[in-house]
Amino acid sequence: MADKILMNKNTLAALKLELQEYKTALPVFEMKEQQLKEVVQTIYDNVQRLEKAIETINEETKPWVAVFAEANEDLNSIVKIKFIKTSKKEIAGVSIELFEDISFEAYEMDFYNTPLWVDAAISVIKDQKTNYRIIELEKKNLEVLQEELAEARRMKNALKEVFIPDAQHNIRKIEIYLGDVERLAIGCAKLVKKKKLTKTAAV
């Protein structure tokens, strides 16, 4: 809002309307901020949980690494992702992607010559790759949500700390000014009336 404002009833009415709009918008942004904070925390916790699961499985499968080397098995190249199915969801006006399913390419295995542990290893690698993809997806969601959260917080703070106080200050300023003008007008009117009465009495 400009520093100079017109000190009249039209400006006062416009400011009161603006103030009402600001007061209506404030709880909307407060609610949006709270909702986004909760979703961001939930996703962050999920990412932490998945990263911990990956780390745990990596520790548990360390003994297999030597076996892979001896067997010359490159299981990571065998386990290839075919597609990832996701769905869209809107949260507080923000569109994010939710993980639905993952499909891996079919592979042929020689059941007579392949060690039994290979099948179990492939299952673990599928789980790990699935977790990595979910984390990747969730981190993208976090980026979008955190940006929107920052914007909601900025708007809430601007309304609470700038727009609403400024509007209230200018409304009080105009009301005081208009009150002074009205009192001055009444005083002048009384003075004129008094003079007229005095003049009439003198005649």
Task: DSSP letter for 113, please.
Answer: T
**Could you tell me if residue 149 is inside a domain?**
yes
Tokens describing residue 103: 């499909």
From CA 137, how far away is CA 139, in angstroms rounded? 6
**Could you tell me if residue 182 is inside a domain?**
yes
Domain housing 190:
9-202
**Could you tell me if residue 1 is inside a domain?**
no
**Could you tell me if residue 57 is inside a domain?**
yes
Residue among 176, 157, 78, 86 at smallest CA distance from 121 = 78
**Could you tell me if residue 135 is inside a domain?**
yes
The count of structural domains within the chain is 1
Say which CATH number the domain at 19 has. Answer: 1.10.287.3240
Q: How confident is the model at residue 1 (pLDDT cuts 50, 70, 90)?
A: very low
**Could you tell me if residue 3 is inside a domain?**
no
**Could you tell me if residue 4 is inside a domain?**
no
From CA 89, how far away is CA 183, in angstroms rounded? 60
Taking the model in full, what pTM does it have? 0.78
pLDDT digits (tens, 9 = 90+) for 109-163: 666 666 667 777 888 889 999 999 999 999 999 999 999 999 999 999 999 999 9
**Could you tell me if residue 29 is inside a domain?**
yes
The neighbour count for residue 175, using CB atoms within 10 Å, is 14
